[in-house]
Structure 1
């Protein structure tokens, strides 16, 4: 077996095995979901880019947030839709690693952008007089680049370490490729110590992101308690951010809890939904939440709709 491990060029995905009787309905619903994700995210991105009044840090970060949603969903939906039309569900060795890179870097970038958004709201509400110097164009560009490049490099390192492992199986019991499953396919005994160390470092880095966000909002709430003006700012701009954060954490934590403690006896359809909900709920809800809650964007969307109806 060890002599043949290098011959693995395809991975078999098994997540669809029990749902293929309804694949026409599933394909239609998935396609509608993906088109809706594209519609709401692209609409928000175009509005922010074209309207110069929205060229402020908060809206630029929102634009990046939506772009990241498009990036993450592009790594899943086209391949999944193809699988629904195909009698076999396989992915190439290289394609599997690329998909794992996209999935993980998308999730980590979401958390990084949420952390930058929390810093932006802290600066706007707690340090209003210094806001434009604190969130200068140069610093904003640096933070945006960090939010995208750092997760890509960190997850890329994990993927490169995984790609050096010799694999003794090509069976992935999921709808898409996941790095920890690829590692679990390594031939025994395998040298996965470095992989585990880097994985734990990655987890610690993004736990600190979460801690920073919590600290920022504790400070924001403390600042806003005694100020009517700050409370209004908090309700207008921070509540959408908090809602996005809770949705993101809820979907990710549910998947993690299912992986570690979930029963394998759950219906395959439910297991599939738990696995992909972070690619369904946040990309749909985030632009809707911000679109309805942020006055400038809501007014701009309504003006576009009104103009087209005339």
Structure 2
């Protein structure tokens, strides 16, 4: 067992020595982070200042963009510091704080996408009852639960992981992960492992099943309706489906890398896969929704050009995310 002084920090061993290229890596990571922050903040501002976008669907989108900022901020400032250092260590409290940020980001993301799929299901399958079913109070409750439940769940998870007695302090990642910390423990971790698997099922599998169910119903409506309705529904669902697939791939990479031996995977590829779900969704989601949803594009154009930001909307465009 290592002595108690070593338990005050963890060593991150997955970093590759890039020599003089560390400064180039710093600039590239900084540019990526600035781009993520700029895109997400811009769309949040557009939704907040445009009253025409004060609809349930855009409130869920705003929650999604806030989560992108939250998740990327839990990783990028830390990476910017680490790429310039020769010794890659992190104090135990900061390590657990990073675990909290990364894990809550992941759960909020998938739950938010599931809530958005439910909203689209109501809008497409029950368009005449959309306003009655998706009231402002219900939207507020859904957004609050989307954030509150993951925060409480991860606090419980970390409360069980933090007191574990550890026999090592080396984490084979570029950032902290709960399972990587649990594997360092000398004590019985059965409860941690079971709880981790339960969390994985509840936070990922159940939301994905809800998404699958809602899109099954949406496809039934699409194929039974007119060509115009089908094209309208499919076009408005495309950004959401792309977001789901993108984040699902990232989660799969993260789970497989955490639970299975990946020593044979090239170091650079392993690093890319480990940060994929914290990098690609925050970068691509603003592009997907900003470019594909005409209502957001028009509101952004009006905001930048100083025009009227409050044009009238109709029920059909609201329900179908035009």
1:58 corresponds to: 57
- Structure 2 CA distance for aligned equivalents of residues 283 and 133 of structure 1: 32
Match of 1:202 among 199, 202, 205: 199
**1:139-178 alignment, distance < 5 Å:** 139-178=138-177
Q: Could you list the runs of 5+ residues in structure 1 that have no partner in the other structure? A: none
Q: Distance in 1 between matches of 2:300 and 2:261?
A: 42
Aligned position for 2:184: 185
Counterpart in the other structure of 1:244: 243
SS of 2:90's partner is strand
| Alignment partner of 1:211 out of 206, 209, 221 | 209
Shift of 1:231: 1.6
Which whole-Å CA distance do the structure 2 matches of 1:111 and 1:283 have between them? Answer: 13
Q: TM-score, normalised by structure 2?
A: 0.90
Question: What is the root-mean-square deviation of aligned Cα atoms in Å?
Answer: 1.8
Q: 1:261 to 1:194 in 2, by over 3 A?
A: closer
Q: Deviations over 1:171-201 (max 9, x none)?
A: 11111000000000001xx121221221122
Secondary structure of the corresponding residue to residue 185 of structure 1: coil
Aligned length: 305
Deviation at 1:241, TM superposition (A): 0.6
SS at match of 1:175: coil
CA distance in 2, matches of 1:197, 1:220: 35
Deviation at 1:155, TM superposition (A): 1.6
Q: Provide the rounded CA distance (Å) in 2 between the counterparts of 1:68 and 1:10.
A: 28
Gaps of 5+ in 2: 308-322
For 2:299, the equivalent position in structure 1 comes to 300
Per-residue CA deviation, residues 93-114 of structure 1 (Å, 9 max, x unaligned), is 1110110111111011000000
Deviation (angstroms), 1:7: 5.5
Return 271-280 or 5-14, whichever deviates more: 5-14
Give TM-score scaled by structure 1 length: 0.93
Q: Compared with structure 1, are the counterparts of its residues 52 and 176 closer, same or farther at alpha carbon in structure 2 (3 Å cutoff)?
A: same
CA deviation after TM superposition for structure 1 residue 267, in Å = 2.4
Go from structure 1 to structure 2 and tell me whether the alpha carbon gap of 1:230 and 1:157 turns closer, same or farther (over 3 Å shift): farther
Q: C-alpha distance in 2, partners of 1:154/1:20? A: 40
Q: CA deviation at 1:74?
A: 0.7
Aligned counterparts of 2:238 and 2:38: Cα–Cα separation in 1: 23
- Cα 1:194/1:109, change in 2 over 3 Å: same
